[in-house]
Amino acid sequence: MKGVKELKARLSSVGNIRKVTSTMELVAGAKMKKLQERAMATRPYAQAIRAMMGQVAQFAPGEVSPLLRQPDQVSRECVIVIAADKGLCGAFNTNVFRKAMEYIRRRMDEGVEVSVYTFGNRSEKFFAKVKMPFVGKLEEKLEGVGYRRVAATMRSLSEDFVSDRFQRISLVRTELVSAARFEPSIQTVLPFTAEAMKGDESEVDRNFDLDYLMEPSPKVILERLIPKTLEMSLLSAVHESLAAEFAARRIAMKNATDSATEMIDELRMEYNKARQAGITGELLEITAGAEALKG
C-alpha cells in the first residue's frame, strides 16, 4: 500500500487536473453553442445556393464557364483538409486525417498526383509529418477566419483549376450532424457540376428542379455566381468543422472530468485505508510499549 503522503500528493494533483478539465468543458460548451448557431445560420443559405447552382450547371453548356469544364483525365488533384488548430478534442482530428488519407491513397493508387491545402494547425503538422506535398495553408486561426480570407483561398484554388494546375479539387471536413454527432465527409469542389452538388438533399433540391431562362446571359450569371457559391460552401464547411471541434472537445473534457472524479474517489478510499492503517500501527506500538513498561 502506498504511503499517506504520496496518496495525498496524488489526490491534490488529480484534483487540480479535474478543475482544469471541468473549466475546459464549460468553455468548449459555450463556444460550441455560439459556433453551432453560426453554422446553422450559414447552412440553409449555403445549401440553397449550392442546390440552385447545381441545377443551373446541369442545364448550362460546359464552355460557359471554365469552372464547369470536365477534364478528360484527372492527373493532378488538390485536397483541402479542414481539421483543428488544437488537440484535446478526442478523436476529432484523427477521424478527419484517417478519412483524408484513405481518399488520398485511393487516388494515388489510381495514378493521380495529390497535393493538400490545409486548414488548421493540426492538419498542417500531420501532413508535414507524412510528407505530403503542400499547395498552401491557412495562416490564420480557424476561430478568427472570416469570409474575405476564405474567399481569397477559394479564388486562388479556382485559378489553379482554370489554369489546369489541378483537374479536380476536393474537400475533406467534419460535418456537424448534431451536438453529439459529427462525421468526416468528402465532397468534390471543382469541377462544378450538378453531381457534385447532389449531397445537399433538401426541399431546396426538389424546388429547384426546373429549367432556367438566364438573363442577361448564362456566361455572365455563372461567372459571377459560381465563385460566390464555392466561397460560401467553403465558409460553411469551416463553420461546421469549428462547431464540431468544440462539440468533440466538450465531450472529451467531460469524459476526462468524470475519469478524474472516479480516480479521486478511489484514491480517497485508498488514502483513508492507509491513514487508518497508520493510526492502528501507532496505537499498537503505544500499547506494546505500555505493556513492556509494566513487565
pTM for the structure as a whole: 0.78
Integer angstrom CA distances of residue 174 from 130, 226, 243, 284: 21, 23, 9, 64
Overall average pLDDT of the 196-213 stretch: 52
Helix (H) / strand (E) element for 76: namely strand 76-82
| Other beta carbons within 10 Å of 162 | 14
Determine how β-strand 76-82 pairs with β-strand 134-137: unpaired
Instruction: Starting at the earlier edge strand, list the strands of the sheet with 168-178.
Output: 134-137, 113-119, 76-82, 168-178, 181-190
Predicted confidence (pLDDT) at residue 25 exceeds the cutoff of 90: no
pLDDT at 196: 53
3-class DSSP assignment, residue 175: strand
Note the Cα 38 to chain centre separation in Å: 15
Residue 290 has pLDDT above 70, yes or no: no
Q: pLDDT value at position 70?
A: 81
Peptide bond into 66 cis (omega under 30): no
pLDDT (mean) for 253-277: 83
Q: Bigger pLDDT: 215 or 186?
A: 186
CB of 227 within 8 A of CB of 155? yes
What local confidence, expressed as pLDDT, does residue 17 receive?
87
* Mean pLDDT value across the chain: 80
144-185 per-position pLDDT tens digit: 888 888 889 999 999 999 898 999 999 999 887 776 778 899
Collapse the DSSP code of 49 into the 3-class scheme (helix H, G, I; strand E, B; otherwise coil) and give the result.
helix
Contact 232, 39 (CB under 8 A): no
What does the pLDDT read at residue 204? 46
- Bridge partners (DSSP) of residue 176 are 182
Across 48-61, average pLDDT: 67
Torsion angles phi and psi, residue 78, rounded to 5: -105, 130
**Residue 211 pLDDT > 90, yes or no?**
no
Alpha helices in the chain (DSSP H): 4-59, 92-109, 121-129, 147-162, 203-207, 218-294
Q: Is the pLDDT higher at 140 or at 83?
A: 83
pLDDT band at 239 (very low <50, low <70, confident <90, very high): confident
Tens digits of residue pLDDT in 76-135: 999 999 999 888 888 889 999 999 999 999 999 999 999 999 998 899 999 989 889 888
